[in-house]
Amino acid sequence: MSSIVKPFKTYEQQVGILRQRGMLVGSQEHAVHVLERVSYYRLSGYYYSFRRPAGSGRRSDTFMPGTVFEDIVALYEYDRNLRSIAFSYFSQFEVYLRSRLGNLLGEVDPLIYEDEARCDLQGSKRRTAWNRFTRKSEQLIRTSEEEFVKHHREQYGGKLPVWVVVEVLDLGALQNLYLVSPPNIRRDIAKALGCTDPQLETWINSLRVMRNICAHQSRFYNKLHPEPRLPRVLRGGRVESPEIREVVDLFGVPQAEENHKMCKTFGMLTLLKYLMDQGGIGDTESLTQILKERPNISVPGVDISRAMGIPRGWEETRLWS
């Protein structure tokens, strides 16, 4: 195993490397300031698609003609703002899910999360979800320093009702609790959000991954996410979640390819906006607006809309208009 490590480069040397490889850099001082604030290697994820194709899906070290440092910075700043807005909206959806799940489960039994006989453990997927949930929830409850948890420990011998437990869970444990909830409860939550339970199961998973990307400040605009289950056209022409179906139809691809199209960032934001609207969770105008404000970069082979998975005509759909 090689022990060779790349030699250290100063900010000025890093700017020199970008210039040497064909990037147009204006002010040296400004470029150095950007690298001090962002870092060369974080920014490299944004200029990767500006590098010349080298065959076999790879890229060379040199940039395509017309690659401008300021365009890379604009794309980075756009992605940062997009990520912030997406995270804010998902946080609202997450609070909604905690509230609905805690309330509906608590109505059945305040301690339902301890009783596997009352939960849905049919199939290996739900059995695995149950095992993960119980292991993680026990740890989170035991180590929680929240005042409301301390109150229940002191007043009720440590027994937390499920509407308290949902506030302690991390997102993965919350997802697993949803998966093992009784089918009628999953259906009620999904119906209130304008979709089916099987759809919502996959949407929560896809959006959980999206949320983690945002929370860790990772590049977001051109990421691929877990494929969601999409609305179907039923017998008689009735369509599940028609607002979503209208967006999917814009891709103009065979049905077998639709899920892959929707796993891009625009597809995730479409699902998130739909859930927010259907649940009356909050206003989503700033999400629509930032999609309209994506940077217009005129470098051949670089298409931000395509990288995000945005189809033509999206602004005219019922969901986004």
Report DSSP letters for 93-159, one per residue.
HHHHHHHHHHHHHHHH-TTGGG-GGGS---HHHHHHHHHHHHHHHHHHHHH---HHHHHHHHHHTTP
Tell me: the pLDDT tens digits for 221-261?
999 999 999 988 776 777 888 999 999 999 998 888 898 89
**What is the pLDDT at residue 277?**
96
On whether residue 4 sits in a domain, the answer given is no
CB of 73 closer than 8 Å to CB of 257: no
Asked if 168 and 283 sit in the same domain, the reply is yes
Tell me: the pLDDT tens digits for 43-100?
999 999 999 988 777 888 999 999 999 999 999 999 999 999 999 999 999 999 999 9
On whether residue 1 sits in a domain, the answer given is no
CA-to-CA separations, 214 to 55, 86, 217, 253, in angstroms, rounded: 31, 7, 5, 29
Asked if 139 and 56 sit in the same domain, the reply is no
Q: Which domain holds residue 40?
A: 11-67
**What is the pLDDT at residue 1?**
52
Element (H, E) at 301: none
Structure tokens at 111: 């301690």
Asked if 95 and 63 sit in the same domain, the reply is no
| Domain count of the fold of the chain | 2
Asked if 15 and 81 sit in the same domain, the reply is no
